[in-house]
């Protein structure tokens, strides 16, 4: 069950880059109260999707701002992020289905536990 947020991020990410956040967020919202591992892994999946969105937006802004001068560097970066948004959640789902805790590489930790959740840090 802890692999659901990771798998829910794959299908939307294949269709539209950045949409994996919706799948991971929905799986996390529905399962976070039933299992603490779903809560932790859902937060990790959402953090990774947010990191990809921020990196993609900054790469695209650099591409547009430079007037195409950075297209040689930005386009491969955008393609690499699209590849990571599809492949890395598959590795995460495989690891969590084996009972391991997964940490995404190069992911910003943006979602934290709050005192209002009833849980301590």
Mean pLDDT of the chain: 79
What is the end-to-end Cα distance of the chain in Å, rounded?
23
Is 49 among the domain residues? yes
State residue 115's pLDDT score: 41
- Of the candidates 80, 63, 71, the one whose C-alpha atom is nearest the C-alpha of residue 17 is 80
User: How does pLDDT run across 17-40, given as a tens digit for each residue?
Assistant: 677 888 888 888 888 888 888 888
Is 16 among the domain residues? yes
Is 111 among the domain residues? no
* 72: helix, strand or coil: helix
Q: Which of 26-30, 76-80, 115-119 has the lowest mean pLDDT?
A: 115-119
Residue 117 scores a pLDDT above 60: no
Is 112 among the domain residues? no
Q: Containing domain of residue 80, as a range?
A: 4-99
Is 32 among the domain residues? yes
Is 104 among the domain residues? no
Domains in the chain: how many in total?
A: 1
Confidence of residue 120 (pLDDT cuts 50, 70, 90): very low
Is 114 among the domain residues? no
How long is the chain?
121
- Of the candidates 13, 37, 43, 1, the one whose C-alpha atom is nearest the C-alpha of residue 25 is 43
The answer to whether the beta carbons of residues 23 and 37 sit under 8 Å apart is no
Query: Token pair for residue 83?
Result: 């590849």
pLDDT (average), residues 53-61:
81
């Amino acid at each position: 069950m802890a692999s659901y947020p990771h798998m829910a991020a794959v299908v939307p990410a294949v269709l539209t880059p950045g949409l994996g956040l919706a799948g991971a967020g929905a799986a996390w919202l529905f399962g976070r109260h039933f299992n603490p591992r779903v809560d932790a892994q859902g937060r990790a999946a959402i953090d990774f999707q947010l990191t990809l969105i921020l990196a993609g937006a900054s790469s695209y802004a650099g591409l547009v701002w430079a007037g195409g001068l950075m297209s040689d560097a930005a386009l491969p970066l955008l393609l690499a992020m699209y590849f990571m948004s599809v492949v890395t959640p598959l590795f995460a789902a495989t690891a969590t289905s084996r009972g391991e805790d997964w940490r995404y590489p190069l992911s910003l930790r943006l979602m934290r536990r709050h005192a209002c959740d009833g849980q301590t840090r």
